[in-house]
Chain A
Amino acid sequence: MSQVEKKAGLLRRTSSSKKPLKEKVVLMYDEIFAKEDPAKHNSRFWDELFLMKVNLEYLESKLETVDGEEVQRIQDNINSLFHHCVQALGEEHQIKVVNALQTLCALFRGVHQKNKSASGFDIINMLMGFDKAEQRMKDLMERLDSLLCGDGSESLKSLCLKLLLCLVTVTDNISQNTILEYVMINSIFEAILQILSDVSSRGQHGYDAVVLLALLVNYRKYESVNPYIVKLSIVDDEPTLDGMGMVVHQALTEYNRQYKDKEEENQGGFFSTLTSMVGSMFIADADEKLSVQTNEAILLALYEAVHLNRNFITVLAQSHPEMDIAATPMTPTPTTPTTPLGTTPPSLDMMNNPELPLDPNLLTSNLLITFLKYASIVMQDTKDEHRLNSARLCLIILTCIAEDQYADAFLHDDNMNFRVNLHKMPMRHRKKAVDKNIPSRPLVCAVLDLMVEFIVTHMMKDFPMDLYLRCVQIIHKLLCYQKKCRIRLHYTWRELWSALINLLKFLLSNETTLLAKHNIFHLALLVVNLFNMFITYGDTFLPTSNSYDELYYEIVRMHQVFDNLYCMVLRVSTNTGQWKEAASKVTHALVNVRAIINHFNPKIESYAAVNHISQLSEEQVLEVVRSNYDTLTLKLQDGLDQFERYSEQPKEAAFFKELVRSISLNVRKNVSLNTLSQDVLLKEFSTIS
């Protein structure tokens, strides 16, 4: 393989060095760009063309140089080229198919490059001709479909997917790519599914297929009925959904692994002290090469699957040992009935056949765990725009998951315990948790940990308000589920409480700077209402009676924060201003917290006075709390356990548009590179056949 590559490289270099001597294929391209019908003099012109190795650069640059008037002139020839490309896809000779695919790539790209501003209709006209466009595209999609679904060469399939990716990403804004209208009509959804459901093809093309699907789903998502959305949402074939999950799983796992390697590398020996000192700075630099960007498409695919397809939720929890499912097929053994008895091997004990390669060190994992780990890495640093986008998308996905009842069921399943090693930002004031200390717990604990981790690590000047809101809402949704289902999760709620109180503290101390950009009262309201959930409904989901006491202890201990918050919101709500209403909501929400503080503080003080103790121990405070519940009256607040369901439109539409644009650019960039290396690969392929 590498030899072939070298040879190919050599060949190309020599050919480019001898400039005056033009390749035959280039001459033929020139003919196409001449006025006349190239087949006029040579009836076998098209046959021959597709036998030539494609010169993508030349063809593309040629297309780009064509200007307005010439277009009219050569349009027939280009239409004809397109037509013959499509026809060549049906050829038996695979070289022709390969060349046709690549030529099509060049056509789509070249035409778009040239006519960035042109309307989609002009482009269609130029490529295929208006009157024939529908038929041409139908043929093209059908051919691609049969190539993708057939038993043909894998490189061919790969090239088909590249072509489709190329077509989907030729415009920056996918919704402006009018040609895709034909891809909507002539669906290749089934072909994509087939690739995903088959183990071997999934391994080779899964990534491309998933990215393609994610992009197609986003074509004119909000304006029209996109058949890919409809179809994706009703897929219920488990192998296929699993396949999709596996592709996402593998991509994210790969990233996690690379990140871990890098981290270990950085922390080795001498550096370790240095890293912990300038930790966050260093990490940000170190993993720059590990582009999060490449995974945006995969995350988008995950989001679409989770958001659109209810059946996909089960895939999230589909645990598998960290190896391909492919390795463990339960192959039927129909040997006995088909082969005559005499020839059956003396397998007295069928069960002794070892069938699986086994590595005891591999931990069982599932897509959700991998996703949580990935999210923990991505959310560490949100300064870079792509990272911010990824972090946002991760939180959106988690929001969808937290709203799904089936997902909640397995998140809280007491029998499904996992150790999830979330990545935590190295910070001066805390030690890096040793992996082994993490207990095996229901997955929801990992989600909560992740949220707590985010809350405590992102209190910065450039406040990611949007992410914070999502984060707090996710916690709220999980609490609602626990309350409804009476699930008493054994979680150290204290960590959450103190993180939330610290968040309030941060909001207070940065009030002025933050208010310039954000509505901090909304966030404060959500946080206070989380406390209200615990206060009024704690009986339904807290794990022990002690934890309820601890909640009061924590509130009383940090009463200053709540006092200050109350002062602040009271002040704002009494003034007239844009925040008046928002602030007054917080004042109302604080009623129970204040009642608690006002009730217990005097009690604690008098206890201290009576017993002549200056500093009460925690146990003593808890004792005071326990003995004074009965005289405290709380007000039942409205709608604490209700939440707004996630909806993509209209709130998130802009975000997704931008995200898809960024993905398109990235995919386009990578596809072009890949196609060229594909070229090399096909070189080898041509010598075989």
Chain B
Amino acid sequence: MEFAELIKTPRVDGVVLHRPFMPTVEGTLCLTGHHLILSSRQDNTEELWLLHSNIDSIEKRFVGSLGSIIVKCKDLRVIQLDIPGMEECLNIASSIEALSTLDSVSLMYPFFYRPMFEVIEDGWNSFLPEDAFKDLESMTDEWRLSEVNKDFSVCPSYPALVAVPKDVNDDTLRKVATFRHSGRFPILSYYHKKNGMVMMRAGQPLTGTNGRRCKEDEKLINATLRPGKRGYIIDTRTINVAQQAKARGGGFESEANYPQWRRIHKAIERANILQESLIKLVEACNDQSHSMDRWLSKLEASNWQTHVKEILTTACLAAQCIDREGASVLVHGTDGTDSTLQVTSLAQIILDPACRTIRGFQSLVEREWLQAGHPFQQRCAQSAYSNSKPRQEAPVFLLFLDCVWQILRQFPCSFEFSESLLVLLFEHAYASQFGTFLGNSAAERTKLSLPEKTVSLWSWVNRPQELERLTNPLYEANSLVIWPSVAPQSLLLWEGVFLRWNRSSKCLDEAYEEMVHIIEYNKELQNKVNSLRRQLAQLETEDPLLKTS
């Protein structure tokens, strides 16, 4: 098979592995179709198993006949392999390069991976749109599940089933789809149970320079308004960017045609700018020789924290419109697959306590990212170390996770999951043995038969041992809306991702263990005391003498 052709040297002995904050390991390096493996063949040393798809870029260095390969991973880790023999080193390097840049999706590891764990619940069926709709039906009868997109022809990036206003028929939807970017007609994203307000999302309207209008589009979104009420349209682009979009056939909803809607423009940056920002940030984090001034100025120049602030602010705005102003909201940017999803998903974290549970958060990622057609495969093809010119790559999903982390850090007791789940999702979005993040849309995933041919990440996550690892010990259900602070002082660098490999986590791990210990010990005592109480109560009822006393 073709992997063998790419592997010029499958095995080299005497390879030395260097990792920051860990002892060096000497051992045998093996290349397989999907993994780079380094094993010392001693029982007590950890082996290195690295997915080729996790490798972002490599560098070669030679000192005499000793070659070194510096492997930079998509999870931001950097390791060094010292390989004796120039030829071996070159062979290994070119093999890794070829194996880590496979073009065909069907050669990816998830198609070869067989789970070593018992699948208790098939993750591919855990979060079906029809189930989510059942929950909605229990709250309101104003929405219906449309099959207009069942063969993905109306909107290729939408799932087969979408929730739309009950009074709008499929013909109308087809017409609206022609008026919205990539056919992304407005659909339901979130229903706020507390006051019945909704959040919808869509692609930009294709008004163009001559101000084209679409009565059906107006009808559709007006159908979501209560009589006499106004709604908000949150355009994630600045007014200038939105104006410029007109020249390319896009645009925004004019006040004249949408009198019942107020439009607010925000300034979430486009994909390529976010990618540049990530590259700069990671570069700053990896250079430990910086002085304080240089570090702070590099951090500032990366603009990463600015993006975090802008995205969170926009999400707060959407949540504020719904919860505080009691208005419905339509969110869109250009194509509705990036900044739009950041905003709609974060607004739900703020508004809906269910999204702050482990299962609810998975469901959110499934609904608002995977089924909503965020092009994971394009966006996560490369990470911060890529040498090639970015095409479609952008850390849109990573920024979303960063924002969730910021909220979690501000409300450490309101989330059922810990930071680990966020880091796990970051890793798997970029490289994974599971099929969940493959493909760019529901249509592509169906075409690839992912549910039949690969294992879902959710199957792995929703097992007791994994859930335990991901659970936040401080969690206590909080049914309220949580308003994060978006002040710069309140937003921190996400150390768990960006400094993860650049410092020892020993002391922080110890602190975490101590925290778990305090909580576990308390639980144990409570159980003991409760059982003694019962025992005492029983003894006391049995003993008539006690009763009278």
Q: Do A and B come from one complex?
A: no
| A residues at B contact (CB < 8 Å) | none
| B residues at A contact (CB < 8 Å) | none
